[in-house]
Amino acid sequence: MYRNFGFNILSSSEKSRLGVIKTPHGEVETPTFIFCGTKASVKGVSPQQLWEAETQIILSNTYHLFSYPGADYIKERGGLHKFMGWNGPMLTDSGGFQMFSLGHGSVADEIKGKRFGVPTLIKINEDGALFKSYWNGSLQSLTPEISVEIQRKLGADLIVAFDECTPYHSDKKYTEQSMERSHRWEKRSLDEFIRKNDFSQALYGIVQGGVHRDLRERSAEFVSENPFFATAIGGTLGSTKKQMYEVVEMTMGKLDVSRPIHLLGIGGICDIFRGIDLGIDTFDCVHPTRIARHGGALVKPQYRDSKKREHINLKRSEYSTDDSPIESDCDCSTCQNFSRAYLHYLLKARELLALPAITVHNIHFMNKLMKEIREGIRNKNLDCVRNKWC
């Protein structure tokens, strides 16, 4: 069923593991971080720059591309890889997260440069969901079958089953009903996937269940019992870091750990280490690339100006006369060529170059972090790596 795909666990240290995901567009060494190319582009950065920063894999968002420019359009262009000039491994999500979370208004800042505001969720029933496009206000429907069909047309290597992303404020009863429906939707996603499987894609199941142990365990068992290639942990992970780790831990306990395990939407440095401890293989988050566009540069602890943040805000006036690079030990093209003072100046002068320059650093930073984490697992000294980065 997944004959062109594979996942090999090379070694492990406690629950942390070192692996390789095989895809038709190349191999991905895990643990790794997946960068968000939401609208078929990692904002401001070319595929060449992504390669130079040693990026292994990126993702695009089905919801955004479905609204504009459309799945058929991208298929006619030869698929997402060819369209955007990225020839490496790629993932698309199911579209569910954006539709529901944006509809609920919780991450409305997801869509920048929006033309028609955020999407509005009109109706959700057993069949699927009806919503107003963020792009032009037209009515659009998303069902498990449509989501898989769109993702087939987009052509990413790794695709995701359609689910409802239940918001944190839902009560347990709604969370349970929603989870059961998500399971039915995931089954339908799987059926649709199998019906036209041409071995160019592999399907992820998603674990829901909110913050409730019994639901998370049932959902983890559901996903593990069905022939998904890999597992994504979705839904709300609670309101605190502590709760987040608890929810991930209770989920991991019932998962088939021979499959790759992805933790959706987590991208903080210390959070990644906690996820690694619990056995997570891949992460994604808009955080590293989004903060870059607001002047935030990720730095290791010795370069920080506050214990509260894992980045420095280059807009702050203290950086206007700081002639050192973002990180003195970083070999990215930004740190090799530009000082903090220059980046501060570019931000203040609203010069475009600031955005790709800081984004390139943050991408390089995340890739370096994940590489050292892999070395830490291989050499069984992950705690040394953690002390350097977190």
Number of residues located near a copy of itself, criterion CB under 8 A:
39
Rounded-to-integer distance, Cα 136 and Cα 124, Å: 20
Does 129 engage in binding with a copy of itself (CB under 8 A)? Answer: no
Contacts of 314 (CB under 8 A, 6+ apart): 295, 296, 297, 326, 340, 343, 344, 347, 354, 358
Does 26 engage in binding with a copy of itself (CB under 8 A)? Answer: no
Contacts of 389 (CB under 8 A, 6+ apart): 269, 273, 300, 301, 369, 372
Closer residue to a copy of itself (CB): 43 or 386: 43
Closer residue to a copy of itself (CB): 162 or 342: 342
**Structure-block tokens of residue 339:** 């000082």
Closer residue to a copy of itself (CB): 337 or 379: 337
Choosing from 72, 93, 277, 383, the catalytic residue is 93
**Structure-block tokens of residue 331:** 């070999």
Does 76 engage in binding with a copy of itself (CB under 8 A)? Answer: yes
Rounded-to-integer distance, Cα 221 and Cα 70, Å: 35
Segment interacting with a copy of itself, rule: CB under 8 A, options 9-17, 160-168, 271-279, 341-349: 341-349
Classified as helix, coil or strand, 368 is helix
Does 347 engage in binding with a copy of itself (CB under 8 A)? Answer: no
The DSSP H or E segment spanning 9 is: strand 6-13
Does 338 engage in binding with a copy of itself (CB under 8 A)? Answer: yes
Find, among 13, 35, 9, the residue nearest to 278 by Cα: 13
Catalytic residue list contains 93: yes
Q: List the interface residues with a copy of itself, window 85-114 (CB under 8 A).
A: 85, 113
Rounded-to-integer distance, Cα 108 and Cα 90, Å: 25
Does 117 engage in binding with a copy of itself (CB under 8 A)? Answer: no
Does 133 engage in binding with a copy of itself (CB under 8 A)? Answer: no
The only residue of 17, 25, 43, 81 in contact with a copy of itself, by rule CB under 8 A: 43
Q: List the interface residues with a copy of itself, window 180-209 (CB under 8 A).
A: none
Closer residue to a copy of itself (CB): 185 or 338: 338
Segment interacting with a copy of itself, rule: CB under 8 A, options 82-90, 198-206, 211-219, 246-254: 82-90
The only residue of 41, 197, 226, 313 in contact with a copy of itself, by rule CB under 8 A: 41
Does 337 engage in binding with a copy of itself (CB under 8 A)? Answer: yes
CB contact at 8 A, 86 and 60: no
The only residue of 257, 333, 375, 378 in contact with a copy of itself, by rule CB under 8 A: 333
Does 36 engage in binding with a copy of itself (CB under 8 A)? Answer: no
CB contact at 8 A, 131 and 119: yes
Classified as helix, coil or strand, 108 is helix
Find, among 335, 364, 363, 338, the residue nearest to 351 by Cα: 338
Report the 10 Å Cβ neighbour count for 384.
13
Q: What does the angle CA 96 – CA 101 – CA 104 come to, to the nearest 5 degrees?
A: 130
Closer residue to a copy of itself (CB): 337 or 387: 337
Does 356 engage in binding with a copy of itself (CB under 8 A)? Answer: yes
Choosing from 109, 171, 284, 331, the catalytic residue is 284
Burial of 111 (0-12, 13-18, 19+ CB in 10 A): buried
Catalytic residue list contains 284: yes
CB contact at 8 A, 359 and 293: yes
Find, among 266, 230, 228, 260, the residue nearest to 247 by Cα: 266
Does 83 engage in binding with a copy of itself (CB under 8 A)? Answer: yes
Does 342 engage in binding with a copy of itself (CB under 8 A)? Answer: yes
- In whole angstroms, the minimum distance from the beta carbon of 350 to a copy of itself comes to 4
- In whole angstroms, the minimum distance from the beta carbon of 269 to a copy of itself comes to 25
The only residue of 353, 372, 378, 390 in contact with a copy of itself, by rule CB under 8 A: 353
Name the residues annotated as catalytic: 93, 284
* Contact residues for a copy of itself, defined by CB under 8 A: 39-48, 68-69, 76-78, 83-85, 113, 320-321, 323, 333, 337-339, 341-342, 345-346, 348-353, 355-357
